[in-house]
Amino acid sequence: MAETRYIFVTGGVASSLGKGIISSSIGKLLQARGYKVTIQKFDPYINIDPGTLNPYEHGECYVTVDGHEADLDLGHYERFLSIETRKANSITTGRIYKSVIDKERRGDYLGKTVQVIPHITDEIKRNIKYLGNDKNNKYDFVITEIGGTVGDIESLPYMESIRQLKWELGPNALCVHLTYVPFLAAAKELKTKPTQHSVKELQSLGIQPDILVLRSEHNLSANLRKKVALFCNVEEAAVVQSMDVPTIYEVPLMMQEQNVDKTILRKMGLPIGEDPELIPWRNFLTRRSNATKEVRIALVGKYAELQDAYKSILESLSQAAIYNDRKLKIESVQSEGITTANVAEKLSHVDGIVICPGFGSRGIEGKLVAAQYTRENNIPTFGICLGMQCLAIEFAKNVLGYANANSVEFDEKTPHNIIDIMEEQKAITNMGGTMRLGAFECVVKKNTKAYEAYQKEHIQERHRHRYEFNNAYRDEFEKAGMKCVGVNPESDLVEIVEIPELKWYVGTQFHPEYSSTVLHPHPLFMSFIKAAIEN
Ligand code: GLN
C-alpha cells in the first residue's frame, strides 16, 4: 500500500469511554490483516508531557523506548499491537504551543501574527503527518486518538485540524466517533439523545463522523442503531456497539464481529479479503477464561486502590498469570500502613509480592519492612525500580548491618548511600533533564534467576529514575549473598539484583512492565508468577 491512511478517533458525551481501547482494537484488526499500523495520542492539556502529573489525576506515566514520558494509553497501544511507540506517538497541547512559540522566537514566521489557525493547527497537522512521513517505518495506517470530548474548549484546535485533514486527504482520512448510550432505569429505556447531540457538535465543527461506536452497558437493538444512523448521517452498517465485556482484550473481537475493520477498508477504498483468524489472540482469551485457580499477589505501593497508578504492572502480572493458567488475584497494600507488627497479617497469605516503583519518601518504611519480611520468610518478591532500591537498602540495613543505610533521595546525608546519584547523572541534572529515561542495554549473568527467565545475555529495558545502586558497595553485597546479576555494559550501573538462595527475590532498576504485551508476556513476570505458584 503506497499511501498512508489516517484514522481519527474522537469521543463525545463523557470521558473514560475507552477511546484508547477502541483505537487499539481497530489497530489490532488492521494489523492482523497485514497492514503496518501505529497509534498516536493527543492530550489537550498544557503540560509538556505527563512526566510531572500526579498519578491520582492521571494514572501511571508510561515510558517509550526512546525515553519519552507518555500517556498511559500508549501502554494499551503497545500491549494490543506488540509495537514500540515513541515520542511522536504522545503529544500534548503544551508541546504543540511550545514548538510554535519556539519557532516564533526564532523568527520562523517572518513577522506574521501567530494564531491558533493556521499556526497551531498546522503544527498539529504536522505532528499527525510526521508519523505518516516516517521514512524508516512506512505505516499503512496512522490512528490518531484525540483526548477529551467534543465540545471541550481545549480540543477545538484538534477538531479543526481533523476537519482540514479530512478535506485535504479525502478518502484517505476517516473519523471514528465514540459516544455513550445511557440506560434510564426508571424509564427502562436506552437514550440516544446524548449521542445525537454529540454528533451535532462534531458536525457543527465541520466533521462528519464515518463510523459511530456506541458504548453501552446494555445490548442495543438494530432499531436503535438504525435510528442513530438516520439522525447522525452515518451509514447503518457503520453504527456499532461497544458493550461492557469481561476484559478489554475482547473488544477487538467484538469490533470484528460487527465488521468495523471491513467498513474501514471499504470506506477507504482498500481490498477487503478474508477475515483474520486472530488465533494467538483467541488462545489468550480462552486461557484467560479457563484459568480458575488463583495466584495471589500483593502489590505494595504508595497508592492502594488506585488501579491506573500501576496499570502496566497489573497488566504484566495478569498476562503472566494467564500464560501460567492462573487467575490473578491482586491485593493492594498501601505501604504507609505496613509495620513490623502487622506485616505478617498483611503478607503471610499471598503467593508473591511486588514492591512498586515510586518517588518521594512516603511509605518507604513500609516497603522496607515488607522486603525484610519476604526475604526472611522466603516469599517470592519482585522489586521494581524504587522497589529494587528498597530491596538493596533493606539488605544493607539488616544483613550488612548498616543501620543508617538509605537512598540519597530520602536522606541526603546518609553515611551509607546505598542508592545515590552517580557522577554522570549529576551533570545531566544540572542541564535540566534529571532522569535516566528510555531503553538501555543490560548484560545478564548466566546461572541466575534473571538469565533463566530471559534465556539470553543481552537485553534492553526501559528506565525512569534518577538514583542508582552505589557500586562502592557491590563487593560487600555480593559476599553477603545479594548478587548484582545484570549490569549496564557501558556505565557499569547495576540493573538487576537477586538473592540466589531464596526462591525468587529479584529487583530490577528498570521497568519490565512497560514491555509486556498480550502476545509476548514479559519473561521476568512469567518467571516471578511461576515461582509464586510453586510457593
Ligand atoms: N525514586 C527513584 C529514583 O528516582 C525510583 C524511581 C522509580 O521507581 N521509577 O531513582
* 463 strand-pairing partners: 438
- Strand 5-11 relative to strand 173-180, pairing: parallel
Q: CA 529 to CA 295: how far, in whole Å? A: 8
- Strand 294-301 relative to strand 352-355, pairing: parallel
Torsion of CA 312, 441, 436, 41, to 10 degrees: -40
Residue nearest to atom 5 of ligand 1 (CA): 386
Q: Residues near 8 by Cβ (< 8 Å), separated by ≥ 6?
A: 143, 144, 146, 162, 165, 166, 173, 174, 175, 176
Residue nearest to atom 6 of ligand 1 (CA): 465
Mutate to test the pocket of ligand 1, among 465, 494, 509, 513 (most ligand atoms within 8 A of CB): 465
Under a CB-based contact definition with an 8 Å cutoff, are residues 39 and 77 in contact?
A: yes
Question: pTM score, two decimals?
Answer: 0.94
| Active-site annotation, residues | 385, 511, 513
Burial annotation 464-479 (CB, 10 A radius, 16+ → b, else e): bbbbbbbbebbeebee
Q: Residues near 402 by Cβ (< 8 Å), separated by ≥ 6?
A: 396, 415, 416, 418
Pick the atom of ligand 1 nearest to 468's CA: 10
The full length of the chain comes to: 535
Q: CA 61 to CA 462: how far, in whole Å? A: 12
Residues of the chain with pLDDT under 50: 431-432
Under a CB-based contact definition with an 8 Å cutoff, are residues 175 and 166 in contact?
A: yes
DSSP readout, 266-283?
HHTT----PPP--HHHHH
Q: Residues near 111 by Cβ (< 8 Å), separated by ≥ 6?
A: none
- CA distances 180 to 196, 212, 479, Å, are 10, 10, 60
Pick the atom of ligand 1 nearest to 357's CA: 8
Under a CB-based contact definition with an 8 Å cutoff, are residues 380 and 503 in contact?
A: yes
pLDDT, tens only, 239-276:
999 999 999 999 999 999 999 999 999 999 999 999 99
Q: Residues near 30 by Cβ (< 8 Å), separated by ≥ 6?
A: 37, 140, 141, 261, 264
Q: CA 56 to CA 46: how far, in whole Å? A: 18
Q: Which of 368, 406, 387 is nearest to 497 (CA)?
A: 387
State the distance from the centre of ligand 1 to the C-alpha of 387, rounded, in angstroms: 9
Amino acid at 74: L
Q: Would you state the cell numbers that stand for residue 82, as one nine-digit string?
A: 506488540
The predicted pLDDT at position 427 comes to 65
Pocket of ligand 1 (CB under 6 A): 357-359, 385-386, 409, 464-467
- Strand 458-465 relative to strand 436-444, pairing: antiparallel
State the distance from the centre of ligand 1 to the C-alpha of 420, rounded, in angstroms: 11
State the distance from the centre of ligand 1 to the C-alpha of 179, rounded, in angstroms: 38
Q: CA 253 to CA 259: how far, in whole Å? A: 10
Cβ neighbours around 137 below 10 Å, total: 12
Under a CB-based contact definition with an 8 Å cutoff, are residues 260 and 211 in contact?
A: yes
The predicted pLDDT at position 278 comes to 96
Q: Which residue has the cell 504485551?
A: 517
- CA distances 231 to 9, 194, 212, 228, 387, Å, are 20, 12, 12, 5, 54
Q: Would you state the cell numbers that stand for residue 514, as one nine-digit string?
A: 512497560
Pick the atom of ligand 1 nearest to 387's CA: 8
The mean predicted confidence, pLDDT, of the chain is 94
Q: CA 374 to CA 153: how far, in whole Å? A: 51
DSSP readout, 387-438?
HHHHHHHHHHHHTS--TT-EETTT-TT-SSEEEE--HHHHHHHHTT--SEEE
The predicted pLDDT at position 70 comes to 93
Q: Residues near 530 by Cβ (< 8 Å), separated by ≥ 6?
A: 324
Pick the atom of ligand 1 nearest to 464's CA: 9
Mutate to test the pocket of ligand 1, among 385, 407, 461 (most ligand atoms within 8 A of CB): 385
Residue nearest to atom 1 of ligand 1 (CA): 359
State the distance from the centre of ligand 1 to the C-alpha of 434, rounded, in angstroms: 11
The predicted pLDDT at position 428 comes to 62
Number of H helices, E strands in the chain: 19, 23
Q: CA 416 to CA 406: how far, in whole Å? A: 6
State the distance from the centre of ligand 1 to the C-alpha of 360, rounded, in angstroms: 8
- Strand 5-11 relative to strand 141-146, pairing: parallel
Under a CB-based contact definition with an 8 Å cutoff, are residues 50 and 22 in contact?
A: no
DSSP readout, 283-294?
HHHHHHHH--SE
Under a CB-based contact definition with an 8 Å cutoff, are residues 51 and 69 in contact?
A: yes
The predicted pLDDT at position 220 comes to 94
Q: CA 265 to CA 140: how far, in whole Å? A: 12
| Helices 311-323 + 279-290 axis angle, to 10 | 90
State the distance from the centre of ligand 1 to the C-alpha of 389, rounded, in angstroms: 8
Q: CA 214 to CA 195: how far, in whole Å? A: 8
Mutate to test the pocket of ligand 1, among 389, 412, 469 (most ligand atoms within 8 A of CB): 389
